[in-house]
Amino acid sequence: MEPCKHLFGLLHVIKKDFNYADVLYLYPKLRILILGTFGDLSTEEQANQTASGYHNTYFHVSDLDLETLRIWPSDGDLQQASVSAFKEAEQLLAAVGINASLMLAQYTAPAPAQKPLKPAPSPCRPAALPDSTEDSLATVQNNIKENMTPSPPNVQISPALHLRREPLTLTTSGTIKLVGDVLVAQHQFHQPNVTARAVRQANHLAIPSTLSVANIRHSSPDETPVRDALMKKLAGLVASGPNKTSGIDRQVQHIGNYVINSTSIRATQKATLQDVAAAKFVSQKVIAFRLLQSLHDNIYTANISDINPLSPGHFLIVMHPRSKEVVVGEVITMYTTSGACNAQHQWIPSITSVGTPSYINVQDYRPFSGETLSSLSCSQLGCSSFLQVPREHILFSLASCVISRSDNMTPAGQPYVLATLPAFAANILWLLQSRAIQVFSSIKELKVLMKDKVVTTEAGEDMVESDHDELGDEHESH
């Protein structure tokens, strides 16, 4: 009966007046159809069907009549069968005290679902009214005065009630003098011991805290800020101390900066690994960017060298991490790794090789007018975009170019920068954008060359195979 129940549910969805009486009439034919399908299965498939749940006994039958399948009843036969089925159901329901005829007469078909009503247009319409004049203002003031309710009459308050509402004061004439020593003595006499101890502890706090000094440091323009003073003090302490490490690289962190003075063997090996990884990356980029060599001689080094280092604040041409688009960005910060497995990303102030950084954070600049770029990359929202660019997407450094900048402000109060590129930088940008498809293919080939590589642990002790892709974290934030 389970397949018949499923079929009844499907037919009832299609035809709302399909009832159980129709199912009782169609059940023999449905059973024959199911048995016919079961007979075409193999022995293994029949065993799987009978073992899957409710397929148990109604598959096994020997009186399969195929001629019955070819006979389709007429409308009269269906009506007669429906009447017979209703009479049978009526007799069965009468045995349990249910009047089927009354139930059928009281049945009401459910109302069809109605579409949501469209909201009526508001009768209010904004209209441009003329500006107010002095005459209209005087008319409004007169109407307000006429419609105001009169204030309640003044009620005279008796002297007794007046004294209840005001504090008692000394009404005697003469000059009143306060003696400070007497007041302090009375205060100390009445205060508890807890208050006395708290006052004495507060008097011992002669050294101001960092927060209090930071809040009042602007009182004197020549005074050194607390942050700068702490940085100079810590830098002097680190420089005067012994440059030694015991097992790990010691770092002194303060105000977001790192002071590292280490001459240990581990630090030397780490620097060597960084140089080797950077040189290997440049050699792989020479192979991948061979088709773009005609654009510029330094295309494989991204115009980054010891003579022309890249630092925060410089402009850079990169391939967008999420699309096949060549864009210009201003360097915000840079990070590097030693090239070893699971090495940490460390901040670096500048780079002299395109293979040194692990990724660079840049602020996206978009075309504004001609060769002028705007820091508002999303003009619809009036906000800037910041990209995390891996080293594979670094195309060309504009650190050697003189780029004019001008600070501006949107009507909404959002600051933005307009940067005008010189002719050389604009020409390089146009060449890279015109060959963006080849640039994307070269970057893809470079990733393939870097994927299967042999790297060394940070201590330089073991050699392991790595398929690590350093492009895992590529984000764009608005």
pLDDT for 240-291, tens place per residue? 655 554 444 454 444 444 444 455 677 777 788 888 888 888 888 888 888 8
- The stretch 299-323 carries a mean pLDDT of 89
In this predicted structure, the answer to whether residue 48 has a pLDDT above a threshold of 80 is no
In a domain, 224, yes or no: no
- The parent domain of residue 463 ranges over 279-477
Q: Looking at 53, 73, 101, which one is the last position of a domain? A: 101
Give the residue, 51 or 466, on which the prediction is more confident.
51
- The stretch 133-141 carries a mean pLDDT of 81
In this predicted structure, the answer to whether residue 213 has a pLDDT above a threshold of 80 is no
Give the residue, 362 or 206, on which the prediction is more confident.
362
In a domain, 126, yes or no: no
For residue 123, the one-letter residue type is P
Q: Looking at 45, 80, 101, which one is the last position of a domain? A: 101
| Measured distance between the N- and C-terminal CA atoms of the chain, rounded to whole angstroms | 60
For the chain, what is the mean pLDDT? 73
- How far is CA 263 from its chain centroid? 42
In a domain, 225, yes or no: no
For residue 40, the one-letter residue type is D
In a domain, 274, yes or no: no
Q: Looking at 48, 71, 101, which one is the last position of a domain? A: 101
Q: Residue 362, Cβ neighbours under 10 Å: how many?
A: 25
The rounded percent of the chain whose pLDDT value lies above 90 is 5
In this predicted structure, the answer to whether residue 142 has a pLDDT above a threshold of 50 is yes
The rounded percent of the chain whose pLDDT value lies above 70 is 64
In a domain, 173, yes or no: no
Per the confidence metrics, is the pTM higher than 0.75? no
Tokens at residue 269, please? 């090996």
CA distances from 198 to 193, 194, 195, 205, 356 (A): 9, 6, 5, 11, 58
DSSP state letter for 340: S
Residue (of 447, 399, 442) closest to 422 by Cα position: 399
In a domain, 117, yes or no: no
Q: pLDDT confidence of 317, banded at 50, 70, 90?
A: very high
In a domain, 55, yes or no: yes
| Range of lowest pLDDT (29-38, 122-131, 421-430, 464-473) | 464-473
What's the total number of domains in the chain?
A: 2
- How far is CA 429 from its chain centroid? 31
Tokens at residue 462, please? 């073991």
Out of 42-56, 188-202, 206-220, 334-348, the most confident range is 334-348
In a domain, 307, yes or no: yes
